């Protein structure tokens, strides 16, 4: 059951479409994105609305959302760089059995607001995103802290948010294959294929999706040629898995390119983090907020840094679980969605019910990516 830009949660939310913003996107692109998003979400039950300018879907008000609501924890899903809320579609139904789910498009991404803001530093980015998330939480009027789950750059942003707002907003922080744990490059530059080295130079010199805008409607076909594996990951979830490429294209082709600007402002010249999580979480995260790290076994992220950080935090008295999803790369929640869903549910139960001590999976559980392949 799909939703429209309407109020949900018993009238608590006032519909707030980003089209009212001065940076309104061309209607043709907006409509194409809306159509491709609906196709991505076609198989799941959800309600949809805008809150504080952020595109939002939820299980609240659906058949799954009415079952055992009083016993369900609230889980908020936050996508990574270049993604959107529809990327969680393959996990939605499984997770909705145990959680009251919400997923958002980050500001500057997908169908959410793209205001003309000036961000020059990672501090500017974190201040801006914190303000946007604060407004969203205030609009939602949750009656309890939430499980905050972020992927990649989304994990980086929600981690800083959890540090700033603590247990009053965040009951459990989950980082799925997080970007930004270290200042160092997340991958081995020496072994990186030439095409990726050239891509890194272009990333530093240009807006990452400038080429998509130049290519125009042909861009999804180019993306299919470069990454045919993405279609395979969605082949059993979409009538036409090529819809995925259309969705990613329309998520990222709009202007102003705020999502790219936010990410680049946080990056070093080797795409590490200027304010790395390994310096922030062990020092500033409240010990009342448990932490879970879930890495893909074939991720190109520097998972060893994440496991080292988890070990340091455990020694300081934090409740931390760090584990690996087998047969998965950076897109850990779609590469092996069944194991991801099962392990996520297990970790949540263990950490929230107090049945688990901290544990860190051995580093040798992580396998290097195949030569020349970046997930």
**Region 56-84: what's the mean pLDDT?**
86
The CA distance from 292 to 148, in Å, is: 10
Band the pLDDT of 292: cuts 50, 70, 90.
very high
- Structural domains in the chain, CATH included, are 18-209+257-365 (3.40.50.1820)
Band the pLDDT of 196: cuts 50, 70, 90.
low
Helices (H), the chain: 27-40, 89-96, 122-140, 153-165, 194-205, 210-215, 219-226, 229-233, 243-252, 258-266, 277-284, 303-315, 332-335, 337-352
CA 374 vs CA 42, 191, 229, 285, 370: distances in Å: 29, 11, 11, 31, 8
CB 232 within 8 A of CB 241: yes
**Region 48-55: what's the mean pLDDT?**
98
**Region 357-367: what's the mean pLDDT?**
57
| pLDDT in the model for residue 193 | 56
Is the model's pLDDT at 347 over the cut of 70? yes
CA 28 vs CA 5, 19, 38: distances in Å: 18, 13, 15
CB 72 within 8 A of CB 40: no
Is the model's pLDDT at 306 over the cut of 60? yes
Q: DSSP labels for 36-78?
A: HHHHHTTTS--EEEEETTEEEEESTTSTGGGSSGGGPEEEEEE
| pLDDT averaged over every residue in the chain | 86
The sign one gets for the Cα dihedral 130, 135, 140, 141 is: positive
The CA distance from 107 to 101, in Å, is: 19
Q: Which residues contact 208 (CB under 8 A, 6 or more apart)?
A: 82, 202, 260, 263, 264
Instruction: Note the pLDDT tens digit of each residue in 138-186.
Output: 999 999 999 999 999 999 999 999 999 999 999 999 999 999 999 988 7
Instruction: Note the pLDDT tens digit of each residue in 314-338.
Output: 999 999 999 999 999 999 999 999 9
CB 292 within 8 A of CB 174: yes
- Between these two residues, 241 and 39, which has the higher pLDDT value? 39
Reported as half-sphere exposure (CB side, CA atoms, 13 A), residue 31 has a value of 3
Band the pLDDT of 26: cuts 50, 70, 90.
low
Work out the angle between the directed axes of helices 277-284 and 303-315 (0-180°, nearest 10). Answer: 20
CA 279 vs CA 45, 160, 176, 316, 330: distances in Å: 40, 11, 18, 14, 22
Band the pLDDT of 268: cuts 50, 70, 90.
very high
Q: Buried b vs exposed e over 12-21: b needs ≥16 C-beta within 10 Å?
A: ebeebebeee
Length of the chain in terms of residues written: 375
The CA distance from 233 to 336, in Å, is: 9
| pLDDT in the model for residue 112 | 98
Query: Minimal CA–CA distance to 98: which of 162, 149, 138, 22?
Result: 149
- Between these two residues, 254 and 71, which has the higher pLDDT value? 254
Query: Which two tokens mark 124?
Result: 């500017």
* Single pTM value for the model: 0.88
Tabulate helix, strand, coil % of the chain (nearest 5).
Answer: 45, 15, 40
**Region 220-240: what's the mean pLDDT?**
90
**Region 301-322: what's the mean pLDDT?**
95
């Amino acid at each position: 059951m799909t939703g429209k830009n309407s109020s949900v949660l018993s009238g608590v939310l006032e519909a707030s479409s980003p089209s009212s913003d001065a940076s309104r996107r061309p209607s043709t692109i907006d409509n194409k994105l809306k159509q491709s998003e609906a196709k991505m979400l076609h198989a799941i039950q959800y309600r949809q609305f805008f809150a504080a300018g952020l595109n939002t879907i939820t299980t609240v008000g659906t058949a799954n959302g009415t079952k055992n609501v009083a016993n369900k924890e609230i889980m908020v899903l936050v996508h990574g760089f270049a993604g959107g809320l529809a990327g969680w579609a393959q996990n939605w139904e499984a997770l909705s059995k145990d959680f009251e789910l919400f997923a958002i498009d980050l500001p500057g991404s997908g169908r959410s607001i793209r205001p003309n803001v000036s961000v020059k530093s990672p501090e500017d980015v974190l201040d801006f995103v914190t303000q946007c998330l604060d407004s969203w939480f205030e609009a939602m009027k949750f009656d309890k802290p939430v499980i905050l789950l972020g992927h990649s750059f989304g994990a980086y942003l929600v981690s800083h948010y959890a540090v700033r707002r603590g247990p009053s907003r965040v009951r459990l922080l989950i980082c799925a294959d997080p970007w930004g744990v270290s200042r160092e490059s997340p991958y081995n530059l020496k072994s990186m294929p030439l095409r990726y080295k050239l891509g890194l130079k272009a990333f530093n010199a240009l807006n990452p999706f400038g080429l998509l805008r130049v290519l125009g409607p042909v861009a999804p076909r180019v993306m299919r040629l470069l990454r045919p594996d993405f279609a395979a990951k969605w082949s059993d979830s979409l009538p036409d898995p090529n819809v995925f490429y259309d969705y990613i294209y329309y998520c990222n082709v709009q202007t102003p390119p705020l999502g790219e600007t936010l990410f680049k402002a946080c990056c070093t010249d080797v795409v590490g983090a200027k304010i790395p999580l390994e310096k922030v979480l062990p020092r500033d995260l409240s010990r009342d907020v448990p932490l879970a790290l879930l890495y893909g076994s074939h991720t190109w992220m520097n998972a060893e840094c994440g496991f080292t950080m988890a070990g340091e935090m455990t020694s300081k008295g934090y409740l931390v679980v760090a584990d690996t999803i087998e047969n998965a790369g950076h897109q850990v929640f779609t590469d092996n969605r069944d194991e991801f869903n099962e392990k996520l549910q297990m970790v949540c139960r263990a950490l929230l019910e107090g049945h688990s001590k901290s544990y860190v999976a051995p580093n040798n559980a992580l396998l290097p990516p195949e030569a020349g392949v970046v997930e």
